[in-house]
Amino acid sequence: MEDAMEFLKLLVSHFVADFVLQGRKIAYGKAQKWRYLVLHLLILTAVTAIIFWQELWENWALLAVSIAWHGIVDCVTARLLRRSLATLLVDQGLHLVGLIGTLLVFGRIPLEEMMRLFEITGDRSVLMVVLTYSFSLFFGSVFVERICDCFDHPLTDDDEDTIVVRREKGASAFIGFVERFLVTTFVFFGQYGAVGFVFAAKSIGKFTEGNESAMMRRFPAYYLVGTLASLAVAVVAGLFLKWQLTGTGL
């Protein structure tokens, strides 16, 4: 039980530092300047120390190795790989392997118990809620951005729609944030009709005749792909949380 709690705490620390507290400036700056990578690792260290506060001293070696692995992965993926959806998935996969591998090396998780890591009891439900919403809201934001990059088109400074489109992308990111929160919550409570309402309300605002945005006029696929990717992440998160906390699926 305690071993599984340690894994969940490490996972929550990772998601909070990597998605909640890592802004665009740090995320992109890591590829250019070392100070942004160091700052990111300091944030991860602080978050991990807070979450493991009561067991900090007895777990210091494990946590140090975990943070060091995180830094190595970020150094490789940020500086050697091109920013893309594949890079994001590789980066997060390596982080996950590092977390599990660190616990295995320190003998905290016997191999036969690996399949029982997500059995929810007691305080673990709180960690699972935090983890799931962090995945839906913050990982989902990065995931959608990388998906949309495949359909985006570069804008020149003399393009009349450049400023408008960039502002609309910022607004769309915020709307997507709220959208994923609502959809994850609705799916968890089994209110699937409300999910359709969220999608319909968003579409009406985008497609109403005479109300097309500059981004919709220029890149209609950007909106469609982004919305579907955002909904997919939120639905998966909601179903996962429902399965974990209630033991039921659809």
Question: Is position 125 within any domain?
Answer: no
Tokens of 189: 């409570």
The reply to whether 72 and 137 lie within a common domain is: no
The residue among 83, 117, 151 that closes a domain is 117
- Note the pLDDT of residue 5: 73
Query: Which domain, by its residues, includes 137?
Result: 130-246
Dihedral in degrees, nearest 10, Cα atoms 107, 51, 98, 66: -80
- Same-domain status, 167 and 108: no
Q: Which of 95, 117, 139 is the last residue of a domain?
A: 117
Residue 201 domain flag: yes
**Boundary residue ending a domain (96, 117, 138):** 117
Q: What's the pLDDT score for residue 114?
A: 53
Q: Is 0.75 topped by the overall pTM? A: no
Per residue in 99-128, pLDDT (tens digit) is 888 888 887 765 555 555 545 445 567 778
Mind listing the pLDDT tens digit for each residue in 17-34? 887 788 778 888 887 888
Domain shared by 152 and 223, yes or no: yes
Domain tally, the chain: 2
